[in-house]
Amino acid sequence: MPKKKDKPDSSRTDSVRSAVDQAFQAGQAQFSRERAQEVVEELAQAAGRVRDVIDDFRPTTGEELRELRERIERIEARLASIEQAPKPRAAAAPRAKTSRSTTSPRRAAPTTARWPRGG
């Protein structure tokens, strides 16, 4: 009986199977890296939003209060100067209307419609 060449065929099959397994593992690793990057970006965005919310809830600092007081003082000074400014003279009372004529205003003369000639 002739000897079967099982070993060379099986070794080729095993090497192809191994190569396919490695390709799938590499593809999965690449997918995992991409997903991990997406998750990191999502977390960074969420952290930024949390930071903004915390900033909104934190108490006002002394410097911010000082700036607000200064702004209020400037507004008060402007308002006081507006209130103390001399008021402009009242405009002269409007004159009574006098009738120039007892007739009604002129009316435009009526127009006559023109029809095309011939036809």
Counting runs of H as helices and runs of E as strands, what totals does the chain give?
Answer: 2, 0
Return the amino acid letter for 68: L
Question: Is the predicted pLDDT of residue 1 greater than 50, yes or no?
Answer: no
C-alpha–C-alpha distance, residues 84 and 25, integer Å = 83
pTM: 0.32
Q: What per-residue string of b and e applies to 24-35 under the rule 16 or more CB within 10 Å gives b?
A: eeeeeeeeeeee
More confident residue, 33 or 48: 48
Q: Which residue has the higher pLDDT, 77 or 20?
A: 77
pLDDT tens-place string over residues 58-100: 888 899 999 999 999 999 999 999 999 887 776 666 666 665 5
50 or 92: which leads in pLDDT: 50
